[in-house]
């Protein structure tokens, strides 16, 4: 934006009645943030920068300015799935249809879906996603087009996508056809991707082994080695399902963390999604090895499980906050997360509250995904990832404590401005860098094309009666 600065001192000044910088400053009234070349050069009372001339000023007024939200675990391309899974038959839908259908995806379909997911993200105040999926290149390209910051990893599994795990309804177990060559091919793709995107201002590549039960011990070690030699994060799912635990018991280990520790996989490079099926000893091991995690409450509730988040935090595990697939509205997820965590948590554990959630969604999340030195707080020296939320709203009228107001009452619909790296990417209900109609049409057409390719899989499955004919794009 420096080209637009002209005679100005800074590129952008954002002023708002309240600011929660997520530093030791607490809440700042009549606040301003000044941005030059994408970097925050001033953050504090507006009076402190009154003499500065700006290329552009955002006067937010009755609003609150917070650091951009960091969605610490996503699959933005999974927006193509829409609402295809119903509680009535989650496992059948996933194993019999969704996983095999993923084999019908390609770069263009993932790109179309990722753009829709990232648009949803920026309009909900999310400025960073931490994503793992097939066709990582498509996700990274989408991030640059939408203008969002993204940690992106190629998904590595040890089976072919045209031969995904088969599910037995009776025993509720699944069986896999292992294919080492395919895992090596996917990891090589992931390494090439990481080498290509390293040093990009918005995209930080990572290595993405899907989960311990989808990869052999050898390939998990190869993934960890690759991340270590590239100096990037390792972003697996850990302790997500009981099926994962059962597979690792077959390998002779009780629990995902014990197993991953024994094979030398755990290090501070690991940022783990979920961490649900872990006991206290495993929590202590995870904390000791310095891994971070993403707490993804609504996603886990959809799988009818929930992580021991208070014990994980008490042990010192750094946790971000994630939505996983589908919705990107982190603010809307906070209230149920707090209630369920406290309902299920130990009676003697410190209850989870609004400040904990907002910290996870900003400063802790930024550190968890490896970007803590660049983002997560509003302070000079950090990149300007900022969100403005309008407080002129019937639900947000009574602000006795702005952090509690945000966590319990706000949602993505209160976001008026999303700023990433100093660029306003969402403003007044509209995306700034792309044509919304084109993105939505391409996403919808891509989803219909994908379903047409998978029509044979859907027929006769748990989804057969539920997929509306219109979803196939047939008028």
State the residues that interact with Zn ion by CB under 5 A. 324
In the bound state with Zn ion, the residue whose beta carbon lies nearer, of 324 and 449, is: 324
In the bound state with Zn ion, the residue whose beta carbon lies nearer, of 119 and 326, is: 326
Find the shortest distance in angstroms from Cβ 136 to Zn ion.
Answer: 14
Find the shortest distance in angstroms from Cβ 72 to Zn ion.
Answer: 11
Strand (E) or helix (H) holding 33: strand 28-36
Find the shortest distance in angstroms from Cβ 211 to Zn ion.
Answer: 9
In the bound state with Zn ion, the residue whose beta carbon lies nearer, of 11 and 324, is: 324
Residue 96's Cβ-side half-sphere holds a number of Cα atoms within 13 Å equal to: 18
Find the shortest distance in angstroms from Cβ 390 to Zn ion.
Answer: 31
The token pair that represents 101 in the structure block: 């259908």
Beta-strand runs (E) in 218-317: 237-238, 271-274, 292-295
In the bound state with Zn ion, the residue whose beta carbon lies nearer, of 282 and 324, is: 324
Find the shortest distance in angstroms from Cβ 414 to Zn ion.
Answer: 26
The residue of the chain with the least Cβ separation from Zn ion equals: 324
In the bound state with Zn ion, the residue whose beta carbon lies nearer, of 127 and 323, is: 323
Specify the 3-state DSSP secondary structure of 220: helix
How far apart CA 43 and CA 19 sit, in angstroms, is 9
How far apart CA 112 and CA 473 sit, in angstroms, is 15
Residue 115 contacts residue 107 (beta carbons within 8 Å): no
Give just the sign of the alpha carbon dihedral 88, 92, 96, 101: positive
The token pair that represents 167 in the structure block: 């599910």
Q: What is the DSSP letter of 364?
A: I
Residues 6+ apart with CB under 8 A from 290: 267, 268
Q: What is the DSSP letter of 4?
A: G
Strand 203-209 relative to strand 415-420, pairing? unpaired
CA 247 to chain centre: 26
Residues 6+ apart with CB under 8 A from 370: 151, 204, 206, 232, 233, 271
Find the shortest distance in angstroms from Cβ 391 to Zn ion.
Answer: 33
How far apart CA 152 and CA 27 sit, in angstroms, is 33
Find the shortest distance in angstroms from Cβ 237 to Zn ion.
Answer: 5
Find the shortest distance in angstroms from Cβ 241 to Zn ion.
Answer: 11
The pair phi, psi for residue 365, each rounded to 5°, is -60, -40
Specify the 3-state DSSP secondary structure of 155: strand
Find the shortest distance in angstroms from Cβ 240 to Zn ion.
Answer: 8
Specify the 3-state DSSP secondary structure of 236: coil
In the bound state with Zn ion, the residue whose beta carbon lies nearer, of 261 and 324, is: 324
In the bound state with Zn ion, the residue whose beta carbon lies nearer, of 11 and 333, is: 333
In the bound state with Zn ion, the residue whose beta carbon lies nearer, of 240 and 411, is: 240
């Amino acid at each position: 934006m420096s080209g637009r600065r002209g005679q100005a001192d800074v590129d952008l000044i954002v002023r708002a009645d309240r600011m929660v910088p997520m530093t030791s400053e607490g809440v700042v009234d009549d606040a301003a943030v000044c941005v030059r070349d994408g970097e925050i050069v001033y953050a504090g009372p507006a009076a402190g920068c009154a003499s500065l001339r700006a290329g552009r000023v955002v006067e937010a007024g009755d609003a609150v300015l917070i650091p951009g939200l960091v969605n610490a675990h996503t699959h933005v391309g999974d927006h193509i799935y829409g609402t295809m899974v119903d509680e009535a038959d989650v496992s059948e839908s996933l194993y019999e249809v969704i996983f095999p259908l993923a084999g019908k995806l390609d770069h263009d379909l993932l790109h179309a879906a990722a753009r829709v997911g990232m648009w949803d993200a920026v309009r909900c105040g999310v400025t960073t996603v931490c994503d793992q999926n097939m066709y990582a290149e498509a996700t990274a390209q989408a991030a640059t087009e939408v203008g969002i910051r993204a940690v992106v990893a190629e998904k590595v599994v040890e089976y072919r996508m045209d031969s995904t795990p088969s599910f037995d309804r009776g025993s509720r177990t699944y069986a896999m056809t292992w294919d080492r060559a395919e895992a090596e091919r996917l990891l090589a793709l992931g390494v090439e991707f990481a080498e290509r995107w390293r040093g990009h201002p918005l995209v930080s590549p990572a290595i993405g082994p899907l989960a311990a039960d989808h990869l052999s011990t050898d390939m998990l070690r190869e993934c960890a080695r690759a991340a270590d030699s590239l100096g990037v994060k390792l972003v697996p799912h850990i302790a997500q399902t009981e099926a994962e635990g059962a597979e690792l018991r077959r390998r002779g280990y009780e629990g995902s963390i014990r197993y991953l520790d024994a094979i030398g996989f755990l290090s501070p490079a690991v940022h783990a999604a979920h961490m649900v099926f872990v006991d206290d000893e495993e929590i202590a091991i995870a904390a000791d090895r310095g891994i971070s995690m993403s707490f993804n409450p609504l996603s886990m509730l959809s799988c009818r499980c929930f992580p021991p988040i208070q014990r994980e935090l008490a042990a010192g595990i750094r946790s971000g906050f994630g939505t996983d697939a589908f919705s990107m509205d982190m603010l809307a997820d906070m209230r149920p997360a707090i209630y369920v965590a406290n309902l299920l948590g130990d009676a003697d554990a410190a209850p989870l509250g609004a400040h904990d959630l907002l910290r996870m969604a900003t400063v802790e999340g930024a550190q968890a995904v490896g970007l803590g030195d660049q983002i997560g707080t509003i302070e000079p020296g950090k990149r300007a990832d900022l969100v403005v939320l309008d407080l002129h709203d019937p639900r947000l009228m009574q602000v006795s404590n702005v952090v509690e107001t945000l966590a319990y009452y706000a949602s993505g619909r209160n976001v008026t401005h999303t700023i990433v790296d100093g660029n306003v990417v969402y403003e007044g209900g509209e995306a700034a860098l792309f044509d919304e109609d084109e993105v939505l049409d391409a996403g919808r057409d891509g989803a219909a094309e994908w379903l047409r390719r998978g029509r044979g899989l859907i027929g006769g499955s748990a989804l057969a009666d539920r997929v509306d004919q219109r979803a196939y794009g047939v008028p």
